[in-house]
Amino acid sequence: MFFEKFNRSADLVKGMAQRTGHDLTDPKEASQFKQMVMACAACSDQAACTRLQAETDTLDAAPAYCRNAARFNS
């Protein structure tokens, strides 16, 4: 269960990065990936993020409830 949560969080971070136009292969972005996954794992509403990502391919900005919104919206 513990690893499932982190795997799901990593997938959500990757999905949000893709939708907001962030390249996680860029060394500057990639260096923050672990912290972003940890922040995502602490989120109490991953279901909302999962639904949002299922409904849209692109986003102008991460939603306000996203614990990584500041990183995605910069």
User: 58-67 burial, b for 16+ CB within 10 Å, e for fewer?
Assistant: ebeebeeebb
Neighbours of 40 (CB within 10 A): 22
Distance CA 36, CA 57 (A): 20
Percent of the chain past pLDDT 70, that is, above it, reads: 97
In the block, residue with structure tokens 């614990």: 67
Type of residue found at 65: Y
Q: How confident is the model at residue 37 (pLDDT cuts 50, 70, 90)?
A: very high
**Higher confidence at residue 41 or residue 25?**
41
The residue ranges of every structural domain in the chain are 2-72
What pLDDT, in 10s, does the model give residues 47-70? 999 999 999 999 999 999 999 999
User: Which letter does DSSP use for residue 53 in this model?
Assistant: H
Q: What is the mean pLDDT of residues 20-32?
A: 86
Give the model's pLDDT for residue 24.
Answer: 87
Q: What pTM was computed for the model?
A: 0.91
